[in-house]
Structure 1
Amino acid sequence: MRISFNPNVPPLTMAKCEDSESEEERSLGEWQPNGRFKYEMRHVDSAIQIALNKQKHSLIFEPNGDVDLFFKVKAKLTEFHRTFIGIKIGQITKREGLDTMRAQLVQAMKAGERMCIMIGKIAPDFKEQFNDPLVFPTDTIFDFENFRKIENYKKVVREDEDYDYQNNKGCFMMHEDYNLVLLSNAQNEEEKQQ
């Protein structure tokens, strides 16, 4: 499910999923001829929940930067676009940047929060360049269904993090409400790819 902002109207749009629209979706907005679903910005929380219910991650295009505060309050916001610049100028290593994201991912999984990866206007290559099987295996993390298997999500949990909320060692469990959101400040997918 993709969600994006239109700066002229303040609605969001999301691409239609394979499955039929729900009553909740119909109450939020309407389908457009371009296959996008328009709704007001105040419904972003509901739209992301719909994606979670359909076992999808969300990709949000929001060129105005108005939704950053929402994710700072309602999610674990990881400003990857800043990490990306830090890596490019040699301020941090790629492994350090990915490990910071990994640690935030573990916290979000444990608490059942949204992990929002803010990518700004960049198009990071999470398939190759920023995929580290030992630190941040994006091929597994971005696979909604596969990453929810205990043998896969436990690979990113370090021994000193492998505790449940009652401090039982080796009992880390991903909360069912955990979800991943990518947030872009690009106008659309085409601008992001440039």
Structure 2
Amino acid sequence: MQINKTNIIDCYTITPRVFKDERGYFFESYNHDKFVKATGKDVNFVQDNQSLSTRGVLRGLHFQKGENAQAKLVRVPQGKVLDVVVDLRRDSSTFGNVFSMELSDENNVQIFVPRGCAHGFVTLSDTAIFSYKCDNYYNKESEGGLLYNDPFFNIDWQIPESKLIISEKDSVLPTYKEFTEGLLLKS
């Protein structure tokens, strides 16, 4: 397993070593000891989540606030998505940075999203299963989010905006400017 840094502090890509033969393939998707050794992060995952989405479904940009913040280890066991991470940690030297990468059942890459970052994805294949581990339990009162198409981030979601399928909740999230002006989150 290869673990690499991204342009966001404490955000990593994890690429497994895949063993293929006539029967199919095998890979180790997570190994706690290897993860801690490579990152210095002793994360205890307590909740696994999974969603199924069709082409153009955009979920995000979401985060949990305060003591309910969550780190996530995300992967796509079926299909293909564009995964996006935004650093919202005010004390981070990468505050405001955006990292994006295609995750699929072909590349088997995972992304570790640290606490304090917003996260979202859009489905690029006909369907995609999105699976992720969290190091803290979901808490509805701690939900937060940022508008997916905020010009400040200039995220290329790789699908025309007219073809995106977005929940009503996600379509009215605040902008980065509102967030940074302290109208939303006190970190």
- Higher relative contact order structure (alpha carbons within 8 Å, sequence separation ≥ 6): 2
Q: Which has the higher helix share?
A: 1
Which has the higher Rg, Structure 1 or Structure 2? 1
TM-score scaled by structure 2?
Answer: 0.26
Structure holding more strand per residue:
2
